[in-house]
Structure 1
Amino acid sequence: MYPGIHNFSEIGKLNKVLLHRIGHEVEGLVPDNFARLLFDDIPYLKVAEQEHDRFAQVLRDNGVEVIYYVDETAKAIRDPEVKKAFLNDILDESDLNSEGIREAIYDYLIRMPEREMVAKIIAGVRKTDIPNVESRTLADLISSSYPFYMDPMPNLYFTRDPGACVGNGLNVHHMSTVTRRRESLLLKYMFMYNKDFAPEGSQLWYDYDDPASIEGGDVLVLNSETVAIGLSQRTTALGIERFAENVLHKSTFKRVIVFDIPKSRAFMHLDTVFTMVDFDKFTIHPEIEGPLQLFEITLNAEGKAHFESVTDELSHLLARVLKVPAVELIRCGGNDAMAAQREQWNDGSNTLCIAPGTVVTYERNYVTNDLLDKKGIKVLTIPSSELSRGRGGPRCMSCPVNRDDL
């Protein structure tokens, strides 16, 4: 096993994964803030925690080291000056329109031990946490029924999105929505100051401050030469171009395949409609096969990015870049259109491959799971009555840090 960040495939044996155990941040969800905080429903926290713990235990039972966002960020900010800088960066991204409130939140949080401070930032700072904020301006005096000074981060349990480990490097993503932007700051500080997570020599392919949005659910590492990326509701063409130029110039990767998928919540990221489950097998949502446009980014002889529309069928393209005779696309829901839509909504295509031919899925997607089983894929299921309310599956909930090479 190579140390540190090492991820050259979607299917190599998973050695280390970064998770966030769902917590009190989801209790900050109310119907009034659903749209802004990107949720459709409120998970029942007690059961959601049990389901997430089961997910982590399945991974451990299969030889995966599980690390958590709170712990790794706390390690990164042990130095008092780094802790101050981190908190100021968080506050800068927290949409605070009052200097008095900002100072009060800073004073409240900076006194906490590192781990407690990180957990509280994720959970959100409520007005009841700091009851006696001095009013200095009109903005301070204006009352509101909204309970938070600083919003929670209920989406963080989808650790796939704030960043992506690609090869021996990391993307720290510029998230598409303001609501999720702070999540990437935690990862940025891990990369900069936590050498257990990112040892010296780890590359940075995309930075938090890059202006164009890109999210990790759109990034799939097919092999040591090929990265697939979704042009989606959350990932932009400019973001893809910047990532491709960096990774192709400074790594073993030779091409980036771009999947232009429908721009809608049902197809939020590429991994909600397409994931790799074995050397020559993928799950796919049937509704993207027809309208799918494909592009290939390579470097030309002068070392500049070359863009080309791909006319090959998807299966032929995948077979070519994976160097296998053929690939099989396993349709979510099989040939049942209603099952496909239902299981797609509950992330039937969002599998986490932990070894070639072994995947973790939600048990509720029984039609797709049965199909995978019949195709020779070992399916490890986890409960998801509450986790699935956030519209993300096992791949969404995990950021692979280290895999064996194929």
Structure 2
Amino acid sequence: MDKKKINIYSEIGNLKTVLIHRPGEEIENLIPEYLERLLFDDIPFLKVARQEHDNFAKILQENGVETLYLEDLAVEAVKEPNVKELFLNEVIEECGINETKIINSLKEYLCSMSEKKMIDKVMAGIRKKEVKIKEYYDEYPFIMDPMPNLYFTRDPFSCIGSGISLNSMKTKTRRRETIFGKYIFNYHPELKDPDIQLWYDRNDVYNIEGGDELILSKQVIAIGHSERTDKEAVINMAKNIFGNGENFRTVLIFDIPKTRAFMHLDTVFTMIDHDKFTVHPGIEGTLRVTALSYDYKNKELITKEEVGSLEKILSKYLKKDITLIRCGGGDKVIAGREQWNDGSNTLAISPGKVITYERNYVTNEILDKNNITVLQIPSGELSRGRGGPRCMSMPFYREDLLE
């Protein structure tokens, strides 16, 4: 791990360190009647999902990227008995469990395991029968919910500049995910560091998620006001970033449709080169964008409303002509199909070199024709979770771009 732990000033700088999570038994605790509750549309086959994810990690490693695993960092963070106690208390409280007998049973059950098995079990979920509570067939079987969205490591917390946003997740089912980030950055021997600034905290009242946070340059951050992110959260985070001496000068708040198809900003566009973006055609009309900057003398935000096309707004704030590459070539049917399978959700590992799902073959061919190097990965099972390569990765360190 690099001596400087966090360094994210672009979406495309050479990726050196990234956080991922190999799908675990939480996937096998999905059942049809509770899919909506757990934010899934289908049930992935775990064996194949793991094979696909291992291939994703292999591609990263073959391209010089250090891969850190969420589950391993969490284990290393809770080694100390007092930290483990704090962690379990917080996890159980977050589940809404307040009956002393059940709390004691859960803690006894989890403390009987090694740290590795304990973390895996908290992620997988705990059935009532595991702690000797009778399960009735027509009732919800879990005393602690599974966390199947964990392999989308982008959302619970985000690295921005030299700090992190420990996000306040919109849905109850994902809020516990941010506890892992909290303990990693507070207690992990290599990652606890007072120099890592906290831009946002998981207990803040307004919601924000990592899929809405894009670092376009050393000066510009783009954040989606989406189904999962509140505008007030973006404003509060911008104040913290501007007020703590970071290099960023503008935060662009993109107002996008509040629907599942446009769940996060990175489901409708991602940066793939200095001047190129993949984009869902559905966002190409007139956009409303709020540009936030900072008056350092008076220590207050300056707000400017922008109305225009995505291309025009990006070109203005990045100070260069921007090329938008349409998912599915802009065809209504192809774009709709490939967008559903995250055709616009690419992970750049260096300028002009991206990881994509192979199933989005029309978009991938178009990227290739635009001189983008495309590293395709199978995703028959991974894509059932509705998230692409960017969703499955949380960059910790990217090399700075040469200006």
TM-score tier (shorter)? over 0.9
Counterpart amino acid of residue 278 in structure 2: T
Query: 1:130 deviation in Å?
Result: 2.1
Which of 197, 202, 207 matches 2:201?
207
Question: Would the aligned equivalents of 1:5 and 1:197 in 2 still touch at CA under 8 Å?
Answer: no
Query: 1:141 deviation in Å?
Result: 10
- The separation in 2 between residues aligned to 1:195 and 1:89, in whole angstroms, is 20
Deviations 1:55-82 (A, max 9, x none): 0100000000000111101111111111
Deviations 1:244-282 (A, max 9, x none): 111111111111001100000010000000100000000
Question: Would the aligned equivalents of 2:283 and 2:310 in 1 still touch at CA under 8 Å?
Answer: no
Counterpart amino acid of residue 321 in structure 1: Y
Deviations 1:93-147 (A, max 9, x none): 112253322221111112322222111100011123222x5xxxxxx99996322
Deviations 1:282-325 (A, max 9, x none): 0110111115211101112412112211135322332233232x
Cross-structure match for 2:235: 241
Question: Would the aligned equivalents of 2:21 and 2:69 in 1 still touch at CA under 8 Å?
Answer: yes
Counterpart amino acid of residue 313 in structure 1: S
Question: Would the aligned equivalents of 2:284 and 2:309 in 1 still touch at CA under 8 Å?
Answer: no
**Which consecutive residues of structure 1, in runs of 5 or more, have no partner in the other structure?**
134-139
**Local SS of the residue matching 1:36:** coil
Query: 1:210 deviation in Å?
Result: 0.9
Counterpart amino acid of residue 267 in structure 1: F
Cross-structure match for 2:212: 218
Q: Any residues of structure 2 matched to 1:238-317 within 5 Å, and which?
A: 238-250=232-244, 251-300=246-295, 301-317=297-313
Question: Would the aligned equivalents of 1:4 and 1:198 in 2 still touch at CA under 8 Å?
Answer: no
Q: Any residues of structure 2 matched to 1:2-401 within 5 Å, and which?
A: 3-96=4-97, 98-131=99-132, 145-250=139-244, 251-300=246-295, 301-324=297-320, 326-401=321-396
Cross-structure match for 1:137: none
- The separation in 2 between residues aligned to 1:143 and 1:363, in whole angstroms, is 40
Percent of aligned positions with the same letter in both sequences? 51
Deviations 1:165-220 (A, max 9, x none): 00000011010001000000100111111142353411110111111110000000
Question: Would the aligned equivalents of 1:205 and 1:243 in 2 still touch at CA under 8 Å?
Answer: yes
**Local SS of the residue matching 2:159:** strand
**Local SS of the residue matching 1:67:** strand
Question: Would the aligned equivalents of 2:13 and 2:349 in 1 still touch at CA under 8 Å?
Answer: yes
**Local SS of the residue matching 1:35:** coil
Deviations 1:364-388 (A, max 9, x none): 0001101100000000000000000
**Local SS of the residue matching 1:397:** coil
**Which consecutive residues of structure 2, in runs of 5 or more, have no partner in the other structure?**
none
- The separation in 2 between residues aligned to 1:307 and 1:223, in whole angstroms, is 20
- The separation in 1 between residues aligned to 2:138 and 2:370, in whole angstroms, is 56
Counterpart amino acid of residue 389 in structure 1: R
Question: Would the aligned equivalents of 1:229 and 1:240 in 2 still touch at CA under 8 Å?
Answer: yes
Counterpart amino acid of residue 79 in structure 2: R
Q: Aligned residues, how many?
A: 398
- The separation in 2 between residues aligned to 1:2 and 1:287, in whole angstroms, is 42
Counterpart amino acid of residue 261 in structure 2: A
- The separation in 2 between residues aligned to 1:141 and 1:335, in whole angstroms, is 50
Deviations 1:9-65 (A, max 9, x none): 000000000001011101111111111100110001111010000001000000000
Question: Would the aligned equivalents of 2:288 and 2:308 in 1 still touch at CA under 8 Å?
Answer: no
- The separation in 2 between residues aligned to 1:369 and 1:196, in whole angstroms, is 38
Question: Would the aligned equivalents of 2:272 and 2:351 in 1 still touch at CA under 8 Å?
Answer: yes
TM-score by length of 2: 0.96
**Local SS of the residue matching 2:37:** helix
- The separation in 1 between residues aligned to 2:318 and 2:137, in whole angstroms, is 59
